Amino acid sequence: MNVTNNKRKKESKEKIKKTFIELLQTKEINEINITELVKKAGINRSTFYVNYIDIYDLADKIKEEMFTDLLELYKEEAIKKKHSYDYLKLFAHIKENQIYYRTMLKLNFDFMNYYDNHLEESDMIKYYRTTKNMDYHIEFFKAGMIAIIKKWLLNNCKESPEEMIEIINSEYKGKSLEN
């Protein structure tokens, strides 16, 4: 019975998240209320409150989940303490989950937090480590990556992940961002 309850709870949470994401496509977060969300999701209010405090808690939980998914992409590298920072893997993941990432942009997901924690050992940063203005290069690179990802998402990820790597490589005059 516990397995059945866990399955139901998971299914309810997925319905809530899916419905929330759908509503965010046409509304701002402050325009979404719990009554509307649970009605559209086909669940009880009490089910919502078992899992979340309010709409903003739901948004935070979704952001945390997406951040965890990003970290999972590089889990093996983190264990080995080797960071190749495969951007193709990153762009493929974003394209595959683009509706969530577009929603995260709307919720002001802090991509910079992700980069601050995982960019330090990338090949590009290693290249600039020997320059006297490394901190500026790092900030420039992070801001540029964020801007490119946002632009790509706002254009519905029309380019392939491979094309995105080419775009970035051309900006860095051929310094490869791949392994």
What secondary structure, in 3-state letters, does the chain show? CHHHHHHHHHHHHHHHHHHHHHHHCCCCHHHCCHHHHHHHHCCCHHHHHHHCCCHHHHHHHHHHHHHHHHHHHCHHHHHHCCCCCCHHHHHHHHHHCHHHHHHHHHCCCCHHHHHHHHCCCCHHHHHHCCCCCHHHHHHHHHHHHHHHHHHHHHCCCCCCHHHHHHHHHHHCCCCCCCC
Between 80 and 31, the higher pLDDT residue: 31
State pLDDT tens for residues 55-78: 999 998 988 888 788 778 767 665
Do 121 and 165 have their domain in common?
yes
State pLDDT tens for residues 4-26: 778 888 899 999 999 999 999 89
At 137 the pLDDT is 77
| Residue 32, domain extent | 1-52
Does the pLDDT value for residue 120 go beyond 90? no
Domain contains 61: no
Do 96 and 177 have their domain in common?
yes
